[in-house]
Amino acid sequence: MRPRPATTTSSCRGLSNNVSGLHLLTIEEAARRLAARETSSLELTEACLSEIERTDGEIGSFLEVTADLARKQAKKADARIAAGKDIAPLTGVPIALKDLFITEGVRTTCASKILHNFVPTYQGTVAGRLADAGAVLVGKANMDEFAMGSSCENSALGRTSNPWNTAYVPGGSSGGSASAVAARQALGSYGTDTGGSIRLPASFCGVVGLKPTYGRVSRYGVIAFASSLDQVGPFATSIRGAAALLGAVAGHDPRDSTSIDTPVPDYTSGLGSDLKGVRVGVPKEYFIEGLEPDVEARVREALAKLEELGAELVQVSLPHTEYAVATYYIVATAEASSNLGRYDGVRFGLRTGEEQGLAAMYGRTRDQGFGDEVKRRIMLGTYALSAGYYDAYYLKAMKVRTLIRRDFIQAFERCDVIASPTGATTAFKFGERSGDPLAMYLTDVLTISTNLAGLPGMSQPCGFDSEGMPVGLQLIGKPLDEQMLFKVGAAFEDATDFHTKIPTSVAA
């Protein structure tokens, strides 16, 4: 064990508690204390590492804990703060990254056997911007293999449980990023969202999760799943924390030609006002058959609270919602079948079957390296793009995508933000949906349209069901209007205490 400064003796590893309590801080409070030099980054980092050591055997948020790197980065951050210059909002803040963010020198697996030994020799933009800002990386978080899944059960390398009750899944695909924040193993984290992979686990784990507008954050160094849908976003225990995390990574990047070249606002400013004049659209198609009564009740209560805070509720319609899942599973799998063509056992990752020649090497490497869900999607996408079926499936899906997009354009003529449940249900138990791919796909029925339309969407805690599992409120905004989501989210958060509830597994 490395020697630690005297001030961190209260966070000794191996004890049944974590007395410093620093792991419980929101990002904005941690940043305030760091700037005021009331606490050090090393103390914050030790508190998180100690909590990881104490609880991650049971929760399994991490595929790799980067403790040595974290301590090194924390000391550098402390030196930066001591020098009083070059201090960014995340300087010294411990964070986790989903294991599909390329991190130079740190193993990056995408939770797949095919990349089990991949150590990037270059830095991705998100990891690079965070390192430049002085953020501290505590580890790489578990996920559904290649971000394909809604429960985190499709990881080939580890099992992640929901910190609120370990019999339940954390949601997916960014399950480890969500559980790490919910379990206070990191103050914030990043994931990616292709059809709900940030918002759904945020909802299931009772934290804030945001998928920004398509193109807002660079995807250079993000292992690709579906390139017209993938987007990077943060998890935090507070709206202001999520806003700070987004600000640290958003903005144009010449190395990602789909990143949008418009200025990044200060997302943390102007929060805390009332909601007078804000029109909140309530889409009737999102209050569907199959919505759990507890979920509907909590979300209706949240809508009433928004109204109480000055917002005006407006009924809107998104008539093509019922076609979103079908559209998505053509578009996303077609793009995935192309993106995953690169895993062939030649340049990186697993190789097997080479003694039988090149074709056998490709075929066996891919059969043994990919898990069942990944293969299912590659097959579906290949089929949809194959000769004779392109018009019936892929072209058709791209046209329906236009109709789904138009629904939102029309709805936003009548409102400033759309509110709905994030998931139709709260977290489910392990194995409950994993035997039925279609049932699993329908888990994302309320989040997928947002990706097809490229809009920003956020989930935040709005209560609990009768089993004590968290319920998420989803807010969907106009393109590049993340600020509206933060404004409404902060007003709701300031008026409620759901975000202050923590799982009993967390050391108080």
25 binds other proteins (CB under 8 A): no
Question: Taking CA 411 as the corner, what is the angle to CA 150 and CA 200, rounded to the nearest 5 degrees?
Answer: 15
Residue with tokens 């998505």: 328
Catalytic residue among 20, 41, 61, 98: 98
Considering the complex, what minimum distance in angstroms separates the CB of residue 126 from other proteins? 19
320 binds other proteins (CB under 8 A): yes
CA-to-CA distance for 262 and 96, rounded, in angstroms?
27
CA distances from 150 to 142, 336, 367, 404 (A): 13, 16, 22, 22
CA-to-CA distance for 76 and 84, rounded, in angstroms?
12
Q: Closer CB to other proteins, residue 51 or residue 444? A: 444
337 binds other proteins (CB under 8 A): yes
354 binds other proteins (CB under 8 A): yes
Residues with Cβ < 8 Å from 460, sequence gap 6 or more?
202, 208, 239, 472, 473, 475, 489, 492, 493, 499
Would you give the binding string for other proteins spanning residues 212-251, x where CB under 8 A is met? --xx------------x-----------------------
Site for other proteins in 80-139 (CB under 8 A): 117-122
**Residue 115 Cα to chain centre, angstroms:** 21
Q: Which of 10, 21, 396, 494 binds other proteins (CB under 8 A)?
A: 396
Q: Which stretch binds other proteins (CB under 8 A): 9-17, 163-171, 241-249, 394-402?
A: 394-402
273 binds other proteins (CB under 8 A): no
At 139, is the secondary structure helix, strand, or coil? strand
Residues with Cβ < 8 Å from 50, sequence gap 6 or more?
11, 12, 13, 18, 23
383 binds other proteins (CB under 8 A): yes
361 binds other proteins (CB under 8 A): yes
Q: Closer CB to other proteins, residue 258 or residue 496? A: 258
Q: Which of 21, 53, 251, 323 binds other proteins (CB under 8 A)?
A: 323
17 binds other proteins (CB under 8 A): no
Q: Closer CB to other proteins, residue 40 or residue 108? A: 108
Q: Which of 393, 428, 486, 498 binds other proteins (CB under 8 A)?
A: 393
CA-to-CA distance for 188 and 180, rounded, in angstroms?
8
Q: How many residues bind other proteins (CB under 8 A)?
A: 72
Catalytic residue among 197, 218, 434, 505: 197
Q: Is 317 considered catalytic here?
A: no
DSSP sequence for 172-237: SSSHHHHHHHHTTSSSEEEEEESSSTTHHHHHHHTSEEEE--TTSB--TTB--S-TTT-EEEEEES
Q: Which of 204, 362, 428, 492 binds other proteins (CB under 8 A)?
A: 362
Q: Is 98 considered catalytic here?
A: yes
Cβ burial of 45 (10 Å; 0-12, 13-18, 19+) is: buried
Q: Which of 43, 193, 344, 493 binds other proteins (CB under 8 A)?
A: 344
Q: Closer CB to other proteins, residue 383 or residue 464? A: 383
**Tokens at 295, concatenated:** 């979920």
Q: Which of 10, 405, 432, 496 binds other proteins (CB under 8 A)?
A: 405
The number of residues making up the chain comes to 508
Helix axes 27-35, 67-83, angle to 10 degrees: 50
Q: Closer CB to other proteins, residue 284 or residue 399? A: 399
Q: Closer CB to other proteins, residue 38 or residue 289? A: 289
Helix axes 41-59, 27-35, angle to 10 degrees: 150
Q: Closer CB to other proteins, residue 165 or residue 258? A: 258
DSSP sequence for 319-351: TTGGGHHHHHHHHHHHHHHHHGGG-SSSSSS--
Considering the complex, what minimum distance in angstroms separates the CB of residue 175 from other proteins? 22
Considering the complex, what minimum distance in angstroms separates the CB of residue 207 from other proteins? 27
Site for other proteins in 427-456 (CB under 8 A): 437-438, 441, 452-454
16 preceded by a cis bond (ω within 30 of 0): no
Which amino acid does the sequence have at 358? L
Q: Which of 9, 269, 386, 410 binds other proteins (CB under 8 A)?
A: 386
Q: What are phi and psi of 57, to 5 degrees?
A: -60, -35
Considering the complex, what minimum distance in angstroms separates the CB of residue 464 from other proteins? 32
Considering the complex, what minimum distance in angstroms separates the CB of residue 246 from other proteins? 18
CA-to-CA distance for 398 and 393, rounded, in angstroms?
9
Q: Which of 267, 370, 486, 492 binds other proteins (CB under 8 A)?
A: 370
Considering the complex, what minimum distance in angstroms separates the CB of residue 370 from other proteins? 8
Q: Is 173 considered catalytic here?
A: yes
CA-to-CA distance for 492 and 113, rounded, in angstroms?
42
Q: Which of 33, 116, 305, 376 binds other proteins (CB under 8 A)?
A: 376
**400, containing H or E segment:** helix 396-411
Catalytic residue among 40, 50, 161, 173: 173
With beta carbons less than 8 A apart as the criterion, state whether 344 and 313 touch.
Answer: no
Q: Closer CB to other proteins, residue 26 or residue 327? A: 327
326 binds other proteins (CB under 8 A): yes
Annotated catalytic residues are: 98, 173, 197
